[in-house]
Amino acid sequence: MNDVCSINNLTQCLLDGGVSPDLANLLTILGGVVLVATVPLVTVIFLIWIERKIAARVQDRLGPNRVGPFGLLQSVADAVKMLTKEDITPMGADKFIYNLAPIIAFATVVLIWAIIPFTPLHIGADLSIGILYFVAVASIGTVKIMIAGWSSNNKYALLGAFRTIAQLLSYEVPLVLSLLIPVMIAGTLGMQDMVRAQGSMWFVFMAPVAAVMFFIANLAETGRAPFDLLEAESEIIAGYNIEYSGFKWGMFMAGEFMHAFTAALLAAVIFLGGWWGPFVEQVPALGFVYLGLKTAVVYIFGLILRSTVPRVRIDQLMALNWKWLVPISVANVLITALLLKVVDAIGLAPQSGDFFAHLPQTLVLLVGNLVLMFGVATVLRNRGRAQRLADEAAHPVEHEDAPVVVGAVGH
């Protein structure tokens, strides 16, 4: 038993301190609720500042630098401003559903935090079906977009909701298929067990294609550039949440920022070893540091991408998913399953937890991923060449030695 009280053994610590079992259970539940509800809210305020600063640096601007030191209180000022704005409900709107949508938008993201392992000792709920729980809760977020657009009694909001639903539902397919790879390798659906399975080798080295598919699908699921069609203001004004104002609109934005960070956090947990790092078994609190650093790398890369690339069209978005990401993800699942069976059959499956025991399996899976990437690159090259030849045939270029006719100057 640990001498330090953690979330996992808080009830036992309270019982050892003389607290009654019912009160100890109640205090544990309340503590978990307060922690899960407070930390994401505080994190959102800091994330908005980070996103503005990074976008400013990428685009050669200063970013927030007036309110508070280094502009740190700018997000707080924005939150206060939204609280003071008028709350408007459109005529003809379904008020109950209209007001429920922003709550669902933020709550679904917060619920995901319950299964994220921050250290070997700190996890809200160590579910044996953690990955399945994540997929189920993330799917609820799709509902809030539909009910927000439908209940607003605005045709543009409804059209924006339809388009957003098509995007989110489509990209859930490669997202789930990419999650199957680490599940097959680790042999578990539990988040904590998946992190422990990466103690000697991160899954990103065994399944780089799945990691890339997971990252791209999450960009679309969170509505980040180049897939930010959830707010294509040039086409459908502000999309599904156009009729929301004040703090309700702020909850949608907070959910979006929190969702992007949570996606980076999950990528670090599933593919980058989570809280694993040197001396983490001796000092479990170091898990917060390692997980934070890995999450920051993924999150900042996404922010730089958002500030750099332009938005794609809706037809390009859907074509990328159904013509490329889904077939690649299906092929990746089949190849990984076959290679894992081969590794097990020839006796290369890891028998212990050290690095060299996992190295043969890692090399076999890595070679399979490289072959798949080479096949995709070959298909892209052939299609690009065929398209270029077709364009040259349709628009032949005149010979360089052809005479140039200069128009006469009128008198």
Q: How large a percentage of the chain has pLDDT more than 70?
A: 88
Please choose, from the candidates 314, 306, 159, the residue with its C-alpha nearest in 3D space to the C-alpha of residue 238. 159
Q: Which of 147-151, 166-170, 211-215, 404-408 has the lowest average pLDDT?
A: 404-408
Return mean pLDDT, the chain: 86
**Does position 401 have pLDDT exceeding 60, yes or no?**
no
pLDDT, tens digit, for every residue of 39-90?
A: 777 888 888 899 999 999 998 998 999 999 999 999 999 989 888 888 888 8
Contact 129, 189 (CB under 8 A): yes
Distance CA 126, CA 30 (A): 17
The DSSP symbol for 350 reads -
Distance CA 272, CA 201 (A): 9
pLDDT at 5: 53
pTM of the model: 0.87
pLDDT at 151: 93
74-95 in b/e burial notation, b at 16+ Cβ within 10 A?
bbeebbeebeeeeeebbeebbe
**Does position 2 have pLDDT exceeding 50, yes or no?**
no
Distance CA 64, CA 237 (A): 26
**Does position 8 have pLDDT exceeding 80, yes or no?**
no
Amino acid letter at 6? S
pLDDT at 231: 66
pLDDT at 209: 97
Distance CA 98, CA 96 (A): 5
More confident residue, 178 or 18: 178
